[in-house]
Amino acid sequence: MKKNAINNKLKFYTAGDYINIFCKKQYKNYYLRGEAHKFIADLGDTEICKYLADINPDIAPGIVYYNTIIFALVNDEYQKRVKKNTHEYYPQVFIGNTKEDFLIFDMYLSNSREILYFKENFKEFYKHCEKDTLIIDLEDADIIENSYLNESIESKKDIILLSIDIIFDRIESTTYDLFKERYPKKNYPLLAYYFSKNADLGLDRFEDYELIYSFISELYSFIYHCFDYAYDEKKYHKMLEDIGNVCLEWLNQQKITNRYLNSLNSFKNCQTSDADPLTRFCNNFFYELINDLKNQKMIKQCQFCDCGDFFKYKENKKYCSQKYEGKDCARTVSNKRYYERHKEEIKPKARKLMKEQRECYKKYGIKK
Ligand SMILES: [Zn+2]
């Protein structure tokens, strides 16, 4: 919710443009820094074209606009290190703890240095820097305090990645109504059409640095170089593909089968609540699909907190049932509640029973 509020304040000129975000308050001796970028997805470029042509050969696909926001914590050591670093492939990002520092740094920039994944001239980038900044409150960044963050602070990292978000901005198309089922105004179609195993890319109408496809596919190497981030690159691309596959299947079939529910549930069960920012970035696409399916009354989620499985939507159903899901979660919940209410009576009884059982074994010479 807060990221959307920030998004509303971002004033971009065009695709490829970006804005530096600052915060006046510090977080545990770190400064909060953000970078927001504007990207496009060209609906005329990908496999979606084939689907659209099936619906109507005269369809005009159009362009989708997305904004991305990356948040990080930085400190003085980082600023010293990054300003000194002139390595060609090392991205100079999150420069300046504060807006004032950032504007001063502008003077020291050379003309030729490029940012790794935007391939844009630095001088050009900083030309608008006074206008291209935004000041936010610390609370707006929604900092998640988990073991990843605690370990990063404890090991005294000079830059810590906090979050990466994509925010859907708008679609420009004269015939959008004709294909909105296949391209809902969400983020998850990106993974379906660009990263699933069936993705057939023909990206050539725009420059790389303008395309959201390049942002997602090069995100790993950007994070690896900039944040010294220990993560498996193959795992990142595998996650994009796996989530892309379930998203594409929904967009193509628009049907909830048992097999499809199984793949949703097995993906959900692999996730932990204590994930690092890159895993959270990938998972957000999945949970966006899930929310979409819930809102469209296609699926529901079992309310037993130890389960949380998805099942086909039924008006009054709250838990998995023996008949359809092979487990009776309502019963497990009521047993658990009964135990919670009566545990003081149940425990001594159980102990007494065990004592009697042991005595009985002893009496009959059974070794246990
Ligand atoms: Zn359940």
- Please give the average per-residue pLDDT across 150-171, as a whole number: 95
Least confident of 153-167, 260-274, 281-295: 260-274
- Higher-scoring residue by pLDDT: 240, 178: 240
pLDDT tens digit string along 197-230? 977 676 677 788 889 999 999 999 888 888 877 7
Instruction: Determine the angle formed by the axes of helices 188-195 and 233-253, rounding to 10 degrees.
Output: 100
pLDDT tens digit string along 26-48? 999 999 999 999 999 988 766 66
Q: 116 C-alpha vs ligand 1 centroid, how far in Å?
A: 46
CA distance 183 to 20: 30
CB-facing half-sphere around the CA of 299: CA atoms within 13 A: 24
Q: 319 C-alpha vs ligand 1 centroid, how far in Å?
A: 5
Domain boundaries, the chain: 2-296, 311-368
**Confidence band (pLDDT; 50, 70, 90) for 61?**
confident
CA distance 279 to 272: 10
pLDDT tens digit string along 296-314? 999 999 999 889 999 999 9
| pTM of the predicted model as reported, rounded to 2 decimal places | 0.84
Residue 245 predicted with pLDDT over 90: yes
Q: 265 C-alpha vs ligand 1 centroid, how far in Å?
A: 11
CA distance 81 to 152: 18
The predicted pLDDT at position 107 comes to 47
The predicted pLDDT at position 121 comes to 53
**Confidence band (pLDDT; 50, 70, 90) for 115?**
very low
Which residue is it, tokens 């089968």? 257
| Token representation of residue 116 | 């790794």
Q: Left if phi > 0, otherwise alpha if psi is -120 to 50, otherwise beta: which for 36?
A: beta
CA distance 125 to 145: 33
The predicted pLDDT at position 45 comes to 65
The predicted pLDDT at position 119 comes to 44
Q: 281 C-alpha vs ligand 1 centroid, how far in Å?
A: 26
Cβ count near 62 (within 10 Å): 17
- Please give the average per-residue pLDDT across 81-104, as a whole number: 77
Q: 82 C-alpha vs ligand 1 centroid, how far in Å?
A: 50
The per-residue pLDDT of the chain, averaged, comes to 84
Q: 318 C-alpha vs ligand 1 centroid, how far in Å?
A: 9
